[in-house]
Amino acid sequence: MNKMNFIILAFLVAAIGLVLFLSHPRSLKKYDYLKNPRITTLPRQKMIIVEAQGDPAIISEKSISLLFKTFFSFKHAVKGLKYTPPRARWPKPFDAPQEEWIGIFGLAVPEAVASLPESIQKKHPSIKLAYWEYGEVAEILHIGAYSEASATRARLHEFIKTRGYQPIGAPEEIYIKGPGKFFKSYTKKLRTILRQRIEKNEVSP
């Protein structure tokens, strides 16, 4: 086995291991508290990101695979490298035609990551390092298919409104379990955190 094949095999084994770990019921229970919406404050986060346009069912798996490939390239070069689930921000309205949707997919990385591998950037110039701003956010856990998330999203937005806030920026999704070919046969078990940056409504004089 040559060096390149070994690297590819190691990457696939690591990725499958993460998928199996995140699929285990015990690893999912820690998110149960988000079955009810909450407001919290988060610091800004350095991310590796890639942007894609089109049907989410098509662009998500490819974009997240590229992020994983980039992330694991830092494994032996960056201390404190810790995996967190992939995320995506969707700046277009959800009622827009799906071929017009824009997904900005991201994986969190430590501050020590100063640049991306030159080999990956040459082949995929769309991948970048960037900060995602947070501050106050509202979030809730959605269980089930992405196509059925509208009711959970409506519940989150009602919660935001009743707490005297308004949404700002693009809605975000954190993929605790899915997407990908490993999960297509049991979409009812998918786990997604729906997150929205918020700010207080201005009080009229």
List pLDDT tens digits, range 14-73.
444 444 444 455 567 889 999 999 999 999 999 999 999 999 888 998 899 999 989 988
Q: 3-class DSSP state for residue 52?
A: strand
Q: What percentage of the chain reaches a pLDDT higher than 70? A: 81
123, 73 Cβ separation under 8 angstroms: no
CB atoms within 10 A of CB 87: 22
When pLDDT is averaged across residues 110-125 and rounded to a whole number, the result is 88
Closest to 106 (Cα-Cα) out of 77, 91, 86, 126:
86
Ordered DSSP codes for 78-101? -TT------EEE--S-TTS-GGG-
**Whole-number pLDDT of residue 2:** 47
The residue length of the chain stands at 205
161: Cβ contacts below 8 Å, ≥ 6 apart: none
CA distance 173 to 139: 9
Closest to 198 (Cα-Cα) out of 174, 158, 166, 173:
166
Structural domains of the chain ordered from first start: 3-200 (3.20.80.10)
Residues 143-149: contacts with CB under 8 Å, at least 24 apart: 143/35, 143/188, 143/189, 143/190, 143/191, 144/187, 144/188, 144/189, 144/190, 145/187, 145/188, 145/190, 146/56, 146/173, 146/179, 146/187, 146/190, 146/192, 149/192, 149/194
pTM for the full model?
Answer: 0.82
CA distance 168 to 94: 15
